[in-house]
Structure 1
Amino acid sequence: MSDVDICILGAGPGGTTAALHLARAGHRSLLLDRATFPRDKVCGDALSGKVLSELRRIDEALPAQLAAEPAQLPSWGIDFYAPNGRRLAVPFKPRYNPATDRPAGHISKRIDFDNFLVEQVRRQPLIELRENADVARHEQLPDGRWRLLSADGSVLATTRLLLVANGAQSAFARQIGGHQLEPAHHCAGLRAYYQGVQGLHPDNFIELHFIKEFLPGYLWVFPLPNGQANVGVGMLSEAVSKKKVKLRERLDEILATHPALKDRFATAERLGPVRGFGLPLGSKRRPLSGSGYLLLGDAGSLIDPFSGEGISHAMVSGRHAADWAARALAADDVSAGFLKGYDEAVYHRLWQELRLSRAMQRLLQYPWLFNFVANRAASNPTLAETISNMFLDLDLRERLRQPGFYLKLLLGR
């Protein structure tokens, strides 16, 4: 058993980011995870420019180290396919040169990327990483500390401050944080790996297909090393229930029959099973803290409502969690009132982008409007760049505050 000031649940991107920032600031932490690394995680596997920016904040050398990993591909943009079939190619960087420019994004299986971060953790003497630590129960003691117990009732740790980063299915987030599954703010998804998909972009653009018959859902195709691809579908849980959609059947049907995809998948081989997952979306502002705890990443329901991306938001929340954990200990105050500063910091960074993504998500209910936006973006540099920036760290907040930005959107400049 450990009695610590800071314990972190979950060694995914949010938890490892928090631990690494704490270590850089000279603070010890205990990092618990139920798995042994490397371990798989169901995800789209795309690493946006925001991820690279957060890696750089941990250590300037990390983006270059990631780029040197054989288990990743550099990605230079996004191909959007509108319901009318219109393809909108949006490079992450205008006039990019793959031969000389640093990659603007990457694609890496989570089994590899999460292990990349865990390897950084293993090098830090101030972080105690404990794998195979399955927390089955948590209870708050009279003095405010949290006690974490295994299934057999043994105490795994007692901590003054608990950073909860154990994912979308977090029991703590539901039972203590009050984050209930709300179908209007939750996405159901499926993912499978394929070998031999034809027609992937030579510069590894990720593909998002908004197919008229599948709206308000979407299908993605993300290239991976060794000729593989991550292929999946996502749809609001509310729509899945209302329309009685069977996602596995629809995925197979779309890949076999859709004019833009059937030839590309005719000889492709599925590798392993189709795996499902749920995504609590950041389309609703929820509390991220309470007495003696902070919620990070997916456990804090911070997933992008439009793209489904959660890795960068987990890392952003991990950075702020480390900051506010250090502040709380310095002030000798882990009360709910003090820790609300963490909520404010996270939402100050992410809320306007989450609202923009929510607005884009709502376009999926109106195919004609989505077609209009796609057609307009093809001749409107400001709109195309705005869509691109949703996946980068070219902070949209300042633009969204400027009236001139909206004028440019309307006038097509």
Structure 2
Amino acid sequence: MVLPHEPEFEQALEELSTSLQPFLEANPQYKKALEIVQVPERIVNFRVVWEDDNGVPQVNRGFRVQYNSALGPYKGGLRLHPSVNLSILKFLGFEQTFKNALTGLSMGGGKGGADFDPKGKSDSEIRRFCVAFMTELSRHIGSDTDVPAGDIGTGAREIGYLFGAYKKLKNEFTGMLTGKGLTWGGSFIRPEATGYGLIYYVEHMIAKACPEYSLDKPTTLVAISGSGNVSQYTALKVIELGATVLTLSDSKGSLVAEKGYTKEFIHKIGELKLKGGSLETLANEPGYTYHAGVRPWTLVPTVHIALPGATQNEVSGEEAEALVKAGVRIVAEGSNMGCTTEAIEIFEASRRSGPGGVWYAPGKASNCGGVAVSGLEMAQNSQRLAWTTKEVDNKLKAIMAECYGICLSAGTKWSGEELTDGVLPSLLAGANVAGFIKVADAMKAQGDWW
């Protein structure tokens, strides 16, 4: 099933398969479901030819991996980045399938994008690329078939261009994309949803594992990686609640705040990133220290909560050991598969050591708030109405609380461990088993395995 040149997908599949072993030993009939669910229902590859500002044609590779529709229309983002390849999109679509299951909403799993880099491109070039991309993608998506969203490199500008192209091609105004503008079908809280949802999930973890590090205390120290949409709103929510954010980062390095980030400085970073800027331009800001070529996990001596929010495999085994040494108690992913296998093993070993260990939450659970509000946007589009900020935020809080409860329950039942002496259940096992069972049962009812 797994090809040697698909390392990211192989890693995601191995993680799920390992977590499922205690469940599969007790329920061997589900082994066939695991064999089937790992194969995407459909993969679409296509050529994207667009014209740059000099009138020269350029070409990129476009993809849509329609992974699983057992629970609803395919749902997942479009990533525009030079690193995009089929392995990364298969891993993301695979994870998205189980993540969407954990939200409790009617959404299948999918992912797509292109190896196009929006950085350094003019608005006109990005618009021409989006029109060319959607011209091909439009024949494969729709509000009841496949509903893409934003992801790395695909923000409000790109969603607008993609939506406009689809509307012209199909001559219909429909909710076939999420992350739309508020005045044309978008939802309140959608830009904030992944970051806010991550914190709502983490608050439940803290309440059970380490209430002394509540986020309403300035003495609670939080390290965050990344500085895009997810990390910005994660940081803003932490600051709003009262805890201290020590770090942010980007692909070139990390920026450490000696006394903690302020809300105003996060907004400044947001404006910088909209223009394609780098954190290194803030190296001389008073109270902040820039570290080129280094991720944040080894840069601060004491950390209570660590929230990877950049990209996959951004916490190595060595960095995980540094976090344990720094006193971290909660690690929750805002990014997808943010921790390497080695890092997860270190965190899980710490958890099993008893009270005072690290409690780790995988991205398919802790960062599902983004796609949850995308699902709420789909519901609003279907009803031709818009809910208030408070209504959406309350629904998001309820979804994250339910997701946490599901992961805690399944982790307690199916981790294959003796939970004695204050050992917390594995949220990794809980998320994987609970998501898998829901998808597998729907597939069985629909005749996809028997």
More helix by share: 2
Q: Which structure has the higher relative contact order (CA within 8 Å, separation 6+)?
A: 1
* TM-score w.r.t. length of structure 2: 0.27
* TM-score w.r.t. length of structure 1: 0.29
